Structure 1
């Protein structure tokens, strides 16, 4: 799309946001993009199409608003909202009075271009920023490339994102494989999103790009185990989830009295407490993997380093069954709008040498990458991003450790790099109380700056653990009050 056209669309969206809230205005623009690709031909007389919408006569009355609403109601993917009463909430963003001029300008602008990918990407970034306060942000493009590159999906793989947001990780998986096979992949892509409006955005995002995927009805993925195994699981669950619950009829949390219920196969040793959604997510993801499957997901630092009993026992079990392949310490503020420090985890059901996934047998070993300082500033902004260079550096390190050739060349020999990466045995990790914090293994060279950062990181971890204890006590108190 020409830069001039892109700027005009952004200006019209800004005008639209002055008469309706930013989230609805952005969803409306995404809906128009979807209409321009999904409703070009009428299936039968009387069905409103994109061509019909473009041909609507000029005017400043309500006609254009009514025409847009008619098209959206007919063509937008139908999503059942389990959180709303029947008919109480519509997922169609309705343009209000005063939006006529902006609507007509947006329709004409979209209708004059064949390249909508750049505009769609910007819309998703805008929607992510607008929803950030509710922790419902989407995975940034460079983070999605890192996660998919670390997972190494292949054609015919079954790929799951149990917290799919706008579907960005599924889109990136499809693009990753298509670039390597040169044809349209024959993958099975599946996602689930808790929020109904976001689930609808995911369907539209994939449809506009011509990617077939199964976006399941909105719901909580943690409510029950996945019914079938997957070769690849990708996830960016909320880092600030205070608690989690199970549906009636599954295993209870803690030791509340009540009738016996069926055991949940996701937690063979202990049920995650209500205060530990992170523990539940990790075990849910691990259980969803096929016998030779691999998963890549984001987790807050506290899960890798906390000395509390629940996360420590979970790390011990993961290492005991040799599931952890790599942990990457990420820079702050590059994976969303949360300020919480986070790591990227890679778990693998089979770390032996396998064609296409690595020529080196890495059973009993874990790779740690300290990418805390691998970021770049976004131009004219205080925001940060990984950027292409840092993403490529992380992936090349992981590929070398696996013995995986890149771009058809021979695999690069791996060696530990001070302050960047280190390969450790499970025994060494066990000797360090099962800590999976990369900054404890790939340690930067001594110096005043490093010592200051280490002390700050330690204080942050201690404060986070205190907050975790407070949340756990709060939930226990609420449970006790319910039983009175």
Structure 2
């Protein structure tokens, strides 16, 4: 592949098509670590060589092998055996897999910020076909990671590959990736401009990346934010650390991959912004007698062991600073569940923490086609002012209101069978929300409704938007619980009729002298 061709076509798409052809028998779940590990290695090498040339040009040739002179410019120091030029020179050798593993291991050893970040013996362990690996190296060699600093070429490639791998892995997998337009929406809603940002289930770190992009778009500095995250799956933890490292973002991801509930690595954290997409409807997340006195429940009921949704909510509430805001995704069932969930939800509403509830369209996630909800919780809904870039926003008192939005008819097609929000969609949604924060707005049928807490109490503390938003053109004004109860009754009758029919048929055969054993 000539470099000129890469420039003519979107580099992300060209590389994906080339790499995907080479995958062979390696599963996407494994192959993504191979490809993304190599992309990182190429990027780190390019930055290293650039800095090395700078030092030589400045007459500092005697310092070219000193780590500190690279670290001061946020560049990773690479020994010769870890440099891309060395890998490419040996690409056709029989032991190239071992050389790549050694290169990645050496980079991690020499750069403490990368501890636990890079693939560990992936290449040797997977037994990749030598010729295919050589072709993959040639393909990735085409990435000019320094071609346009302003365009974040390698970041774009990395993000594109993450999304494509999530698509490939399909339902029940790919939890490491939250679709980009949803992450963009959350960032534009809560506006994490300055302070501490936390994600308790950070996947591959997309929330953090978008937070930094939001800050840069508003002429802020990423030095004014601190990143804290936690991830349960070890391989995904590595993806997140690589994702941040590629963009020069420093963050505290904990000492290792760990379960947020059972090994909270940020126990005393108070965050100004929380962005999260925790696992939906996680079952058996704690044993019967576990976490009963956990301080994160803060006087609320203990979340049921059968579903972690409210465990995630209370974990996040416990981590919010006095002015903290959280934006997170949950399955729709959390809007109206009974039992302990009802009691927790009621207290959250009575404590005036719930600011906005937005139902998203179906088919936005690669791992499930269900419609899900974006929750916005806010510890300070009183009148106050806040600086966001060059703007000073004056908020009104919203303590006794909750904004409901139905976004199910919004979005544009993506990858044939998926839906995503366009930039205009995000502007419309966030514009409505931020306008509501500063002034009263008109309720728009089939789109938004500002409900008082008194209205919510009358609906028995349900947070289902269709209970509040008016629907005039669609038969959407349906009580979900009532509808499900009716369907349950109908289904029971159908099963009963089926059992009776089966019994009648068996009796007919019996009368004819035939016994049928089931």
TM-score range, shorter chain: 0.7 to 0.9
Closer, same or farther in 2 for the Cα pair 1:434/1:184, shift >3 Å? closer
**In the alignment, what sits opposite 2:277?**
236
Structure 1 residue 159 and structure 2 residue 159: aligned? Answer: no
Q: Which residue number in structure 2 is paired with residue 350 of structure 1? A: 380
Choose which of 452, 455, 477 in structure 2 pairs with 1:428: 455
Asked if 1:300 corresponds to 2:323, the answer is: no
Q: Which residue of 2 is the match for residue 106 of structure 1?
A: 139
Contact (CA 8 Å) 1:294, 1:347: kept in 2 or not?
yes
Residue 260 of structure 2 corresponds to: 221
Unaligned runs of 5+ in 2: 1-5, 50-64, 68-76, 109-113, 148-152, 387-392, 489-518
CA contact (8 A) 1:144 1:169 kept: yes
Q: Which residue of 2 aligns with 1:291?
A: 322
Q: Which residue of 2 aligns with 1:25?
A: 31
The 5-angstrom pairing of residues 203-214 of structure 1 reads 203-214=241-252
Equivalence map 1:80-159=2 (5 Å): 90=120, 92-94=122-124, 96-98=128-130, 99-110=132-143, 114=147, 115-132=153-170, 133-134=172-173, 136-155=175-194, 157-159=195-197
1:450 is paired with a residue whose SS is coil
Partner of 2:435: 400
Q: Is the 8 A contact 2:402 2:451 kept in 1?
A: yes
Using the TM superposition, give the Cα deviation of residue 342 of structure 1 relative to its aligned residue in structure 2, in angstroms: 1.2
Residues in 2 aligned to 1:28 and 1:442: alpha-carbon distance in whole angstroms = 48
What residue in structure 2 maps to residue 274 of structure 1? 305
Q: What does residue 35 of structure 1 align with?
A: 41
TM-score of the two chains, using structure 1 as the length reference = 0.81
Alignment of 1:68 with 2:100, yes or no, is: yes
Shift, 1:456, TM fit: 8.1
Give the C-alpha shift of residue 391 in structure 1. 1.5
Query: Deviations along 1:185-218, whole A, 9 cap, x unmatched?
Result: 4200111111010010001011111212222221
C-alpha distance 351-246 of structure 1, shift in aligned 2 (>3 A): farther
Q: How many residues align?
A: 432
- 1:460 deviation in Å? 6.1
Structure 1 partner of 2:225: 187
Q: C-alpha offsets along residues 373-418 of structure 1, whole Å, 9 cap, x if unaligned?
A: 1121126x12111222222111001010011xxxxxxxx7622112
- Aligned twin of 2:3: none
- Local SS of the residue matching 1:314: helix
Any idea what SS the aligned residue of 2:261 has? helix
Is 1:79 the equivalent of 2:109? no
Alignment of 1:291-440 (within 5 A): 291-306=322-337, 308-356=338-386, 358-378=394-414, 381-403=416-438, 414-440=441-467
CA contact (8 A) 1:73 1:92 kept: no
Q: Closer, same or farther in 2 for the Cα pair 1:64/1:462, shift >3 Å? A: farther
Return the offset for 1:80.
9.2
Among 10, 14, 33, the alignment partner of 2:20 is: 14
Structure 1 portions without partners, runs of 5+? 82-88, 253-261, 404-411, 465-484
Partners of 1:358 and 1:175 in 2: how far apart?
24
Q: Which has the higher contact order (CA 8 A, sep 6+)?
A: 1
Shift of 1:113: 6.0
- Shift in CA distance, 263/19, structure 1 to aligned 2, threshold 3 Å: closer
Q: CA deviation at 1:269?
A: 3.3
TM-score by length of 2: 0.76
Partner Cα separation in structure 2 for residue 302 and residue 287 of structure 1: 22
Note closer, same or farther for the CA distance 1:315–1:57 as it changes in structure 2 (3 Å cut).
Answer: closer
| In 1: Cα distance, 2:404 partner to 2:429 partner | 11
Distance, in Å, in 1 between the alignment partners of 2:263 and 2:407 is: 34
- CA 1:375–1:463 in 2, change beyond 3 Å: closer, same or farther? farther
Q: Is the 8 A contact 1:366 1:423 kept in 2?
A: yes
Gap change, CA 1:31 and 1:330, over 3 Å in 2: same
Rg larger for: 2
Q: CA deviation at 1:434?
A: 0.4
CA pair 416-24 structure 1, distance change in 2 beyond 3 A? same
Shift of 1:63: 4.1
CA–CA distance in structure 1, aligned partners of residues 367 and 394 of structure 2: 34
Q: CA offsets, 1:286-333, max 9 Å, x none?
A: 111011111011111111123x22221111100111110000011112
Q: CA deviation at 1:239?
A: 1.0
